[in-house]
Chains A and B, each alone.
Chain A
Amino acid sequence: MNIAVILKQVPDTEAVVKPDPAKPGAILETDIKFILNTYDEYAVEEAVRIVEKTGGEAVGVCIGPERAEAAIRSALAMGLSRALWVSEPDAVSADVITQAKVLAAAIKTLSPGLVLCGREMIDTQEDAIASAAAQFLDMPQVLNAAKITIDGEKAVVLREVESASLEIEAKLPAVISCGKGLNEPRYPNLMSIKKAKNKEIKKLTLAELGLQAGPAKARIAALEAPAPRAKGVRVEGEVASMVAQGVDWLMKVAKVV
């Protein structure tokens, strides 16, 4: 079975992100270390495992600027056999729904039996790529999979929601987004990094995909710092009073009650 894996390059979670004063809506990219989106690793690992077991190809599909090649190579080093890459600025700066359309067009060229992606992009914190792509591909979707079992023409997926685990059956081909704990992504060692240097990354243009850049559906007008995080509160003294303050804090600040 051929599997398409959606990839994205994002800033590392520990990176200090600051708005770029010259480009509203963008961050300053100097001194930022970029990585393959953490959740995409689970998708890549799952795809590679399935293909190792049942044959076929696991192919990456990525929208990203020139620097994204590094992330694609690390996914190739984990075992994808090749990748498709759209690097045109119109696609890179597009909103999530437009990007999903572009990805769907690229994925269609692979005729995959399964499409995997990470459950969320850690930079934009968007989780809609899977469902939007599924709509454009006319496939069913299952999001945030904790376990995937391929059973002939269907996939049996375990999905965690609030206070329950759901077992969902989806007819293949389907789009499944992968959550933490789905598997243990393999470490790309030196050998696999070397091999990945020779794997094919094919650049695709929007024109080749039969798409045209249109007006943006949404755009980030500005990036702002959130309200400064309140300094840590320390309470001492009598138990009842400390607990009362604690409960108050949990309700109002942490909002978990």
Chain B
Amino acid sequence: MAGILVWVETFNGELRKASREALGAGQKFADHQKVSLDAVVFNAGPAALAELGSMGLRKLFTVSGESFAKYSSEGYCAAVAEAGLKSGADVYLACASSLGRDLTGRLAAKLDAALATDVTEILWDKTPLSVRRPVYSGKLLAQTELLASCKVLSLRPNVFAPAQTRTGAVETVALTLADVKIRAQVQKAVAAAQGVLDVTEAEIIVSGGRGVGGPDGFKVIEGLAHTLNAAVGASRAAVDAGWIPYAHQVGQTGKVVSPVLYIACGISGAIQHFAGMGSSKFIVAVNIDKEAPIMAKADFAIVGDLFKVVPVLQQELAKARAK
């Protein structure tokens, strides 16, 4: 291995949490393989620069300018490749965020590299460079060897430990690129509507059923959804009773969803509903009836009155998020 280059993402001038994890992985990798660790960052604010300055990086490439003010796959790909060239790195790391997924494919093609996306484990000492990543909807793990001379990895968020603070000054190199061809541009960004159950996959859905008791009951559901930045769903019983519009119905005659987390409150979970959310990664159920079908199918089942449990759950989650 010649060297590692990490693409660091920022949000509002600060480092993204997942990028800290990518840097953490970079540090560990560099330690094991005894190579240098570089990073490239776009539009970094002072806070980001300060943080990046204390991670034991060898070189930090900063990119700024009109063309790079907003993300574009062609622009950022060109810049990262240029940084890689200057860095001499042959392993590129990024977090598998939306933009990370957007960039790494193009970058790997440009560098004629081996690509592994959504990596959940790096085998630090193995040669050839090997990683593990989930396949077949997570039913299996693929131990993948990257054989090409150049390698690009995107790392699954919330898996790797974040970077540690280290001593040692970093050499900051400002990159300028001329004449970058950018043919796809973000024109505008609209904040996602709150709580709307979109057919495009919501990450978290909080759903209410017969146990919610009435349209007012849904306020409790919506509260939890808001705290988790989640969409609101409903079982057929709640929609039929007129407590919430049909657009929120999940089930065999409603929408089929597969979020990372599905929280079912006051829903019995018979197959007609389960058919609509059974492929959720994690299922949490809150129900006063411990024999309700969903309780056996949930990964975490809370036996209790949703009107007592959900508000407290919302409170505690808000606290945990704030930390």
Contacts and interface: CB of A to CB of B under 8 A. Distances in A.
B187 to A, nearest CB: 5
Contact of A233 (B104, B185, B299, B308): B299
Contact of A131 (B109, B185, B281, B296): B109
A42 to B, nearest CB: 11
Interface string B133-161: 11111111111111110000000001000
Interface of B: 73-74, 77, 97-99, 101-106, 108-110, 112-118, 130, 132-148, 158, 182-192, 198-201, 203-204, 228-229, 260-261, 279, 281-282, 284, 290, 295-304, 308-309, 312-313, 316-317, 320-321
B146 A135 contact: no
Nearest to A234: B301
User: Interface extent on A, as a size class?
Assistant: 35 or more
* Interface core residue of A13, A167, A254 (most chain B CB under 10 Å): A254
A131 B77 CA distance: 11
Chain B binding surface, main DSSP class: mixed
Interface stretch (A43-51, A137-145, A191-199): A137-145
B135 A239 contact: no
B166 to A, nearest CB: 26
Contacts of B301: 232-235
A249 B142 CA distance: 26
B201 A169 contact: no
B298 A217 contact: no
Nearest to B230: A256
Interface in A143-173: 143-144, 146, 156, 160-171
Contact of B109 (A97, A140, A247): A97
Chain A binding surface, main DSSP class: mixed
Given A167-B188, A222-B143, A247 B204 contact: no
A34 to B, nearest CB: 13
Contacts of A122: 136-137
A224 B115 contact: no
A171 B183 CA distance: 5
B261 A167 contact: no
A257 B317 contact: yes
A141 B102 contact: yes
A230 interface: yes
Given A165-B190, A250-B317, A134 B106 contact: yes
